[in-house]
């Protein structure tokens, strides 16, 4: 192996040409969210209560509830009108704080 570091070594340092640019969101925008939790009759209502606090114009009729194959979990899929990053961060925090949400995507 050569000591100059050119053979047998891959340079893992990011360079300006290989770095991926992080996606930027332009607010306001329609923002899809999927909330996953244990299946329960009141799980969608719990999610809806949090959503309305952070996105007052959220239309509950647009909410889709999908049960997992074995029925153990539910996903609630919605689209909100996002106004900023702080709104989304607080929304995700409050959803997790319910203690019923396993994942927010």
pLDDT digits (tens, 9 = 90+) for 42-61: 999 999 999 999 999 999 99
Query: CB of 23 within 8 A of CB of 87?
Result: no
Question: Does residue 61 sit within a domain?
Answer: yes
Structural domain range at position 65: 38-104
Q: Give the relative orientation of helices 85-97 and 43-54 as an angle to the nearest 10 degrees.
A: 150
How much is the mean pLDDT over the chain? Answer: 87
Number of domains the chain contains: 1
10-44 tens-digit pLDDT:
555 555 444 555 568 899 999 999 999 999 999 99
Considering the domain boundaries, does residue 77 fall inside one?
Answer: yes
Any domain includes 56: yes
Sign of CA dihedral 67, 40, 101, 23: positive
9 exposed, middle or buried (CB, 10 Å; 0-12, 13-18, 19+)? exposed
Residue 10 lies in a domain: no
Give the CA radius of gyration of the chain: 21
pTM: 0.76
């Amino acid at each position: 192996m050569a000591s100059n570091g050119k053979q047998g070594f891959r340079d893992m340092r990011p360079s300006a040409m290989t770095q991926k640019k992080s996606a930027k969101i332009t607010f306001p925008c329609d923002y899809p969210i999927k909330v996953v939790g244990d299946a329960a009759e009141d799980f969608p209502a719990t999610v809806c209560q949090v959503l309305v606090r952070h996105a007052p114009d959220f239309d509950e009729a647009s909410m889709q509830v999908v049960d997992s194959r074995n029925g153990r979990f539910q996903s609630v899929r919605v689209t909100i009108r996002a106004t900023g990053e702080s709104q989304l961060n607080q929304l995700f925090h409050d959803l997790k704080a319910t203690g019923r949400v396993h994942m927010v995507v």
